[in-house]
């Protein structure tokens, strides 16, 4: 069934909903769009299906299919040039985080002068772009509901984010059918990304009752449905719940923010070129153990949402150890590679610890963390 909800980023949700794209654009009075995706979308037939739908609705479109993983500033700037020249009235982003981030970056540059590197960090005064419709094809990033675009800065060889209302999609279309073809390893890696968002949001600096409720629901859904989607990618029910889980985790973390796990994830990702979801999961069990010292009530919620009951009189330490164990077991059960399996040597791994504590996200940690503590966490994850 196709249903709608209107909360933060309004969404059209349900199986087949991507075939509402043309209709939704019409209702927004948008006649000409830039459609942003990667070549893989064409191969699997997803982009063509949506382009046909736009045509049937009488929407004029220009294709920008040059999205690549870890979207570089150069791609964003190229796309923005096309967007400006062709005077599009909207952007349709089809794909995972990379497509959505590219689309958001393009949107920033429609009425703000390039380069995109001028607009890193939290931006209050940017000029508006055009409405973005985000159509995720993975269940992981939650980017369809966030206010940020992660961009790779080619010359500096690093990643950074633009955080702005201009990055918030006007509408998300959550069609689980688009994820049916995702192979098991991608299903697991993206699903674990959503788990990392939800788990870190619960212990996040701006966590609040609503983000907590969304995080917990997300963890519960991932615990129940990610193993099913991983085992049988054609299970539409599992695909559907994973899409919601990813969306809720996106809503939670765009409000509550993530912290140490993502600082480690970004650093490992940049240094060893590991997919984002996997990079964030590698040390997540240790991050929860660390967080339990002050955030044990929240860490206990993580455990419970993962089906691991916490005794009433459990100490923070016991809660932390429980979380570490249950998270690692869950991650292992999805065959997510560990640090050794990724062929990272211990000495190379430990070298990145200072970079972790220099990551801007580390300011959001539940309590102050030293390079020595990060080193211990990396060691523990290596030996797990």
Smallest distance from a copy of itself to CB 175, Å? 13
Q: Which two tokens stand for residue 226?
A: 């990610």
The answer to whether 214 contacts a copy of itself (rule: CB under 8 A) is yes
Smallest distance from a copy of itself to CB 210, Å? 5
Nearer to a copy of itself, 106 or 251 (CB): 251
Strands 3-5 and 11-13: antiparallel
5, 45, 309, 317: which one binds a copy of itself (CB under 8 A): 5
273's torsion region: left (phi>0), alpha (psi -120 to 50) or beta? left
Q: Residue 102: name the closest of 135, 147, 150, 140 by CA.
A: 150
The answer to whether 213 contacts a copy of itself (rule: CB under 8 A) is yes
The answer to whether 4 contacts a copy of itself (rule: CB under 8 A) is yes
Nearer to a copy of itself, 5 or 358 (CB): 5
Nearer to a copy of itself, 241 or 290 (CB): 241
13, 76, 198, 339: which one binds a copy of itself (CB under 8 A): 13
Q: What spatial distance separates the first Cα and last Cα of the chain, rounded to whole Å?
A: 43
- Write out the binding residues for a copy of itself, residues 221-260 only, by CB under 8 A: 241, 244, 247-248, 251, 255-256
Smallest distance from a copy of itself to CB 153, Å? 28
Q: Residue 38: name the closest of 92, 107, 95 by CA.
A: 95
Smallest distance from a copy of itself to CB 139, Å? 13
Q: Residue 319: name the closest of 345, 301, 341 by CA.
A: 301
Rounded distance, CA 299 to CA 198, Å?
11
Q: Which two tokens stand for residue 339?
A: 């640090």
Nearer to a copy of itself, 13 or 192 (CB): 13
Nearer to a copy of itself, 4 or 370 (CB): 4
Burial-class residue 350 by CB neighbours within 10 Å (0-12, 13-18, 19+): middle
Rounded distance, CA 179 to CA 30, Å?
27
Nearer to a copy of itself, 37 or 244 (CB): 244
CB count, 10 Å around CB of 121? 10
The answer to whether 6 contacts a copy of itself (rule: CB under 8 A) is yes
Under a CB-based contact definition with an 8 Å cutoff, are residues 356 and 267 in contact? yes
Smallest distance from a copy of itself to CB 5, Å? 5
Rounded distance, CA 379 to CA 137, Å?
35
Distances (CA, A) of 136 to 47, 264, 359, 362: 12, 25, 28, 28
Length reported for the chain: 384
Of 31-39, 156-164, 212-220, 366-374, which segment contacts a copy of itself by CB under 8 A? Answer: 212-220
Burial-class residue 185 by CB neighbours within 10 Å (0-12, 13-18, 19+): middle
Nearer to a copy of itself, 230 or 248 (CB): 248
Nearer to a copy of itself, 217 or 376 (CB): 217
Rounded distance, CA 137 to CA 179, Å?
5
Of 182-190, 210-218, 267-275, 330-338, which segment contacts a copy of itself by CB under 8 A? Answer: 210-218
Query: Residues in contact with a copy of itself, total (CB under 8 A)?
Result: 24
Nearer to a copy of itself, 11 or 107 (CB): 11
The answer to whether 304 contacts a copy of itself (rule: CB under 8 A) is no
75, 107, 146, 211: which one binds a copy of itself (CB under 8 A): 211
The answer to whether 113 contacts a copy of itself (rule: CB under 8 A) is no
Residue 162, preceding bond cis, omega within 30 degrees?
no
The answer to whether 122 contacts a copy of itself (rule: CB under 8 A) is no
Phi, psi of 55, rounded to the nearest 5 degrees: -60, -50
- Write out the binding residues for a copy of itself, residues 168-207 only, by CB under 8 A: 206-207
Interface residue list for a copy of itself (CB under 8 A): 3-8, 11, 13, 206-211, 213-214, 217, 241, 244, 247-248, 251, 255-256
């Amino acid at each position: 069934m196709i249903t709608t909800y209107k909360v933060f980023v309004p969404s059209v949700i349900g199986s087949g909903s991507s075939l509402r794209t043309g209709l939704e654009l019409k209702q927004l009075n948008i006649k000409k769009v830039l459609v942003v995706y990667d070549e893989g979308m064409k191969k699997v037939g997803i982009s063509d299906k949506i382009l046909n739908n736009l045509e049937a609705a009488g929407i004029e479109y220009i294709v920008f299919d040059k999205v690549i993983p870890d979207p570089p500033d150069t791609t964003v700037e190229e796309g923005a040039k096309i967007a400006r020249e062709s005077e599009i009235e909207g952007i349709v982003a089809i794909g995972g985080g990379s497509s959505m981030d590219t689309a958001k970056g393009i949107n920033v540059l429609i009425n703000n002068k390039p380069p995109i590197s001028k607009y890193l960090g939290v931006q209050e005064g940017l000029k508006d772009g055009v409405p973005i419709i985000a159509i995720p094809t993975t269940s992981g990033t939650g980017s369809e509901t966030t206010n940020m675009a992660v961009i790779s800065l080619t010359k500096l060889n690093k990643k950074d984010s633009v955080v702005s209302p201009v990055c918030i999609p006007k509408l998300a279309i959550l069609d689980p059918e688009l994820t049916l073809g995702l192979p098991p390893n991608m299903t697991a890696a993206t699903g674990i990304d959503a788990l990392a968002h939800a788990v870190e949001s619960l212990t996040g600096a701006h966590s609040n009752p609503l983000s907590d409720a969304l995080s917990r629901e997300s963890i519960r859904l991932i615990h129940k449905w990610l193993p099913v989607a991983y085992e049988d990618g054609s299970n539409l029910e599992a695909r559907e719940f994973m899409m919601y889980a990813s969306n809720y985790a996106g809503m939670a973390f765009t409000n509550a923010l993530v912290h140490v796990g993502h600082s480690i994830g970004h650093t490992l990702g940049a240094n060893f070129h590991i997919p984002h979801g996997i990079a964030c999961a590698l040390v997540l069990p240790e991050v929860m153990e660390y967080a339990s010292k002050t955030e044990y009530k929240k860490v206990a919620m993580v455990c419970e949402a993962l089906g691991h009951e916490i005794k009433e009189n459990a100490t923070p330490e016991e809660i932390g150890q429980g979380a570490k164990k249950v998270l690692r077991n869950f991650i292992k059960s999805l065959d997510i590679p560990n640090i050794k399996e990724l062929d990272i040597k211990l000495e190379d791994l430990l070298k990145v610890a200072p970079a972790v504590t220099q990551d801007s996200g580390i300011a959001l940690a539940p309590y102050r963390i030293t390079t020595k503590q990060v080193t211990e966490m990396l060691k523990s994850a290596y030996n797990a």
